[in-house]
Structure 1
């Protein structure tokens, strides 16, 4: 794994990861709160399919500079900067949870530069017409995102109050964490080592205008979502599928916000077929 700091014109830096110089480039967008190291459980599949993982810590996570007030579009520009630094003309994007939203934003903003998109449990735009955004979320998700919708300062106050997030884990989630996808725990703790603003600013960005429109995505897009997702309900996936003209939705019956990652390898296989 190659790790490097990418310097941005505004003085910020992004901590980037690269699994190697060969293979079709795929940029991984991590979840909230994680660092950006690409997903180890998918390394073997990526090698088999001829894919090269690239990723970075979003601002405020790991080794990347905080960027208060960031949006989905500004993170897409950060993605563009990483791609430019690595001299990538075109690339695919994959994202899990909130990372799926940033993957969609990158495809919307960068157009033909993005060759294909796969998301797992992506978040739809806040106040999207025809979507009851909070319905089906566990109480902790409503508290975190509801406070973020009131402002990043309100979300920060919730954090400072000692708020503890209860993800509502299901028995199948605990079983999954005992296997290869226990890796999610490996990247979650370090996600907050640099301070709380990665998570706070992620949550705030999900409730701000994106600064780009997912309905303009032209790249082939696969949306994976679980019907038992209590953090980002499947209604978000349905809305995205209905409004993104190149999107296909695969709903997995009984899959949670966490066990949906067990279907990531089939998403990668689909991705490789588009490239």
Structure 2
């Protein structure tokens, strides 16, 4: 599809063509081919799952200098092109902030929002942002404060070697159906190069999101794994404390990739919203059974 400013956004759809619309916002570096690997999950729940490449990934036009808030406007641009009025949104990892930005910027369009294993803003007051974060992300966080050329060079060098993943992540990613999906999604996402990846990391790691989280009024569900070394759980706890309508579920034995196991319950909540929320200005944390 073509945006009002003439950019292309590459869109993919899964599940039921006439189902309940749910947007999935991919992680970094991924794209429109990323999603839960069992597509029958979407058809079984009657979901029309909509994904798209953020600018610079896969088939979408680059947008250097973009902020997280700009991704919120792209969500609505895709919804408008598809003739959708109201819909739910969820994002994983780097997609989580974009999902929250969508709820903050377009509360009249979004019914519920979920964010799994996601980052807090780099300028989050009181949060030691890189504490407990895997070494590769700490390096990226340092480079993100420089410039785009430095980030592109860093990613071209750093991505040439497989990252050393914590055991909790490696066990999930070793599953054939997850590995195959992620390999295809990654290959398509970086097919044009690492420019979109660089822009994503700078937007997430290097500059303010342009979002007032306190303004979010729609119901919010957060999920995070206690053992996450990619994005430490402290990020989720910070988000929960600063989102007035949020509930947070922490999985004690879960890592970053644990979001795959958390997706079915997340989708059911997005459809039905049957989980109670705390009163305005207060967040609660629940712990999923081990």
Task: Give the TM-score normalised by structure 1.
Answer: 0.92
Aligned residues: 270
> Quick one: distance in 2 between partners of 1:10 and 1:165?
37
Partner of 1:199: 197
Structure 2 counterparts to residues 1-275 of structure 1, below 5 A: 6-19=1-14, 20-37=16-33, 39-161=35-157, 164=160, 167-177=163-173, 178-182=175-179, 183-206=181-204, 207-274=206-273
Shift in Å, 1:184: 2.2
> Quick one: distance in 2 between partners of 1:65 and 1:249?
34
Unaligned runs of 5+ in 2: 275-290
> Quick one: distance in 1 between partners of 2:194 and 2:226?
30
- The 3-state SS of whatever aligns with 1:119 is strand
- The 3-state SS of whatever aligns with 1:149 is coil
Say if 2:21 and 2:87, in contact at 8 Å, map to a contact too. Answer: yes
Say if 1:112 and 1:218, in contact at 8 Å, map to a contact too. Answer: no
Alpha carbons of structure 1 residues 146 and 164: separation in structure 2 relative to 1, 3 Å: farther
Shift in Å, 1:219: 1.3
Partner of 1:3: none
Alpha carbons of structure 1 residues 145 and 88: separation in structure 2 relative to 1, 3 Å: same
Q: CA RMSD in A?
A: 1.8
Shift in Å, 1:166: 5.3
> Quick one: distance in 2 between partners of 1:72 and 1:250?
24
Alpha carbons of structure 1 residues 224 and 162: separation in structure 2 relative to 1, 3 Å: closer
- The 3-state SS of whatever aligns with 2:108 is helix
Shift in Å, 1:176: 2.1
- The 3-state SS of whatever aligns with 2:183 is helix
Task: Give the TM-score normalised by structure 2.
Answer: 0.87
> Quick one: distance in 2 between partners of 1:165 and 1:226?
25
> Quick one: distance in 2 between partners of 1:112 and 1:168?
42
Unaligned runs of 5+ in 1: 1-5
Shift in Å, 1:69: 0.4
Q: Tell which deviates more after alignment, 203-212 or 36-45.
A: 36-45
Say if 1:225 and 1:250, in contact at 8 Å, map to a contact too. Answer: yes
> Quick one: distance in 1 between partners of 2:254 and 2:140?
22
Shift in Å, 1:78: 1.0
> Quick one: distance in 1 between partners of 2:164 and 2:198?
20
Alpha carbons of structure 1 residues 141 and 164: separation in structure 2 relative to 1, 3 Å: farther
Say if 1:168 and 1:230, in contact at 8 Å, map to a contact too. Answer: no
> Quick one: distance in 2 between partners of 1:174 and 1:231?
12
- The 3-state SS of whatever aligns with 2:89 is strand
